[in-house]
């Protein structure tokens, strides 16, 4: 019986040792972003230069965190700056990519990121954790040309690959950028003036049909030319941005003013001036209401589309 107990105890120890060996190795990761350059929202590309370090228990034999790769990078070069047991420090730079959501243009903001995984070890063998001894940070003087740098965050994610049915630990350093307020003014000031031009049509004497229709046509052409110019600055998208929705509202107002100009002329030709004045007065009050309703409708349709209800 005693021999049986000893054998059972040894078996338990072996199982516990195997279980302990199966625990993933925690690797502390940190990054310091030096610079962000060549940001091109049309392609979602940008350049990063940075320091990257790994820290782990040096007593673990045969283990290294050197087999990492950049999951959203291309042509990234790294130089080993410092190496000691359980510690690696790299200096790196290269081009990175991120899928961007520009539906709120020109009120859009984006998160640029540096994403790292181990090439070989899955999440049950290696897990990244944030380094609290040397905390991740970024150069306070970073300036992304044409954008406002807001803040940064660091996160640890588990990324699942369904093809191999495996999870990998991923370290992500985010940098948030947003458009400066002057961009809002640059985009919406012309839209505002186009809307006002369409509105002024109703204040031209109703007997001057040619002047009224000429102003409507001119404003239509100016609106189309302006939207083409704005669309050149952003990538081709399969959805309407907020600026597009605003332009749709402007087009609705301009179409409304053109139709009502023709309608009023119809009354004039039949010498129904009083009716023409009433129609013109109604158009003056309804013009901006129509634009607001069209803008709200496009936003509602977009929301329903996101919910896959239409």
| 205 SS3 class | coil
Burial class (CB in 10 A: 0-12, 13-18, 19+), 36: buried
CA distance 41 to 110: 9
Contacts of 78 (CB under 8 A, 6+ apart): 52, 90, 91, 92
What does the pLDDT read at residue 149? 87
- The residue to which tokens 């199982």 are assigned: 15
Domain ranges of the chain: 23-179, 182-306
Contacts of 265 (CB under 8 A, 6+ apart): 206, 209
Contacts of 71 (CB under 8 A, 6+ apart): 115, 116, 117, 159, 170
What does the pLDDT read at residue 4? 46
What does the pLDDT read at residue 16? 37
What does the pLDDT read at residue 310? 66
CA distance 57 to 68: 17
| 107 SS3 class | coil
What does the pLDDT read at residue 223? 92
Can you identify the CATH homologous superfamily of domain 182-306? Neurotransmitter-gated ion-channel transmembrane domain (1.20.58.390)
What does the pLDDT read at residue 282? 84
What does the pLDDT read at residue 1? 46
CA distance 124 to 96: 28
pLDDT tens for the 310 residues of the chain, in order? 454 444 444 444 444 344 344 589 999 999 999 999 889 887 889 999 999 999 999 999 889 999 999 999 988 999 999 999 999 999 999 999 988 888 888 888 889 999 999 999 999 999 999 999 899 999 988 888 888 888 899 999 999 999 989 999 999 999 999 888 888 888 899 999 999 999 988 888 877 888 888 888 899 899 999 988 888 777 777 778 888 999 999 999 999 988 888 888 777 677 677 777 787 788 888 999 999 999 999 989 888 877 777 6
What does the pLDDT read at residue 55? 95
Contact (Cβ atoms closer than 8 angstroms) between residue 109 and residue 179: yes
CA distances from 233 to 105, 179, 181, 188, 245 (A): 11, 13, 17, 15, 17
Token pair listed for 69:
């790769």
CA neighbours closer than 13 Å in the CB half-sphere of residue 42: 8
Q: Where does 23-179 sit in CATH, by number?
A: 2.70.170.10
């Amino acid at each position: 019986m005693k021999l049986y107990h000893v054998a059972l105890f040894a078996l338990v120890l072996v199982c516990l040792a195997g279980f302990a060996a199966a625990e993933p190795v925690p690797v502390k990761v940190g990054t310091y972003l030096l610079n962000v350059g060549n940001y091109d929202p049309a392609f979602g590309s940008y350049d990063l230069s940075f320091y990257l370090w790994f820290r782990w228990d040096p007593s673990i034999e045969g283990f290294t965190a050197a087999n990492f790769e950049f999951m959203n990078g291309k042509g990234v070069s790294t130089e080993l700056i410092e190496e000691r047991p359980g510690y690696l420090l790299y200096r790196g730079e290269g081009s990175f990519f991120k899928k961007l959501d520009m539906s709120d243009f020109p009120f859009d903001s984006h998160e640029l990121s540096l994403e790292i995984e181990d090439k070989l070890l899955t999440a049950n063998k290696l897990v990244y954790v944030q380094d609290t001894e040397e905390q991740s940070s970024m150069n306070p003087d970073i300036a992304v040309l044409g954008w406002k740098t807001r803040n940064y965050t660091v996160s640890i994610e588990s990324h699942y690959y369904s093809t191999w049915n495996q999870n990998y630990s991923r370290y992500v350093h985010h940098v948030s950028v947003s458009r400066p307020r002057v961009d809002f003014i640059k985009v919406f000031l012309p839209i505002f003036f186009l809307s006002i031009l369409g509105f002024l049509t109703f204040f031209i004497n109703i007997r001057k049909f040619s002047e009224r229709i000429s102003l409507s046509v001119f404003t239509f052409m100016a609106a189309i030319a302006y939207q083409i110019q704005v669309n050149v600055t952003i990538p081709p998208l399969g959805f309407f941005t907020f600026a597009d929705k605003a332009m749709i509202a402007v087009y609705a107002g301009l179409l409304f003013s053109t139709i009502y100009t023709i309608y009023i002329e119809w009354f004039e030709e039949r010498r129904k001036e009083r009716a023409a004045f009433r129609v013109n007065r109604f158009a003056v009050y309804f013009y901006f209401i129509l634009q607001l309703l069209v803008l709200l409708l496009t936003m509602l349709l977009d929301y329903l589309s996101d919910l896959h209800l239409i």
